[in-house]
Amino acid sequence: MTRYHKIDAWRGYEIPEYAVAGSSYTGEWSDSPAPKSEVMPELKEFMKYLKKKGIKSRLKTTPSSNVFMQKIWVVVSGKDFEKAIPLTMNWLKRNYSRTQYIHDADLDVIKRSKKKLKEMV
């Protein structure tokens, strides 16, 4: 099941179900704000970190409402998703000053939703 990140009434992008982090990708043109040659090293470094923590991951690409942009996601298995959430948030926080493209996959929204569910039960 995919999630959808809504930017406004017309714009947004899909997030794969077990995605924990991702980046925009805007092609390899000379004026590209998020070229794959710069995006991929950040994603690969994060994937190496997850692997060291015993979590396998893969990349998945999804479209966005911007015809000039795709999203590239780091996706983990369903059994590792809960473990990967705090690891992802901590890694992003620790590496904030030296990364430019990678971001979480709306993980704060998932945490708030689960908290609401617990409060309702």
* Per-residue pLDDT at 116: 44
pLDDT by residue (tens digit) across 72-101? Answer: 999 999 999 999 999 999 999 999 999 999
Q: What is the CA radius of gyration of the chain?
A: 15
Give the global pTM: 0.84
Q: Which two tokens stand for residue 19?
A: 């995605």
Residues with Cβ within 8 Å of 87's Cβ and at least 6 positions away in sequence, in order, are 49, 50, 53, 55
Question: If you average pLDDT over every residue of the chain, what do you get?
Answer: 85
In the chain, domain spans:
3-107
Residue with tokens 């893969």: 58
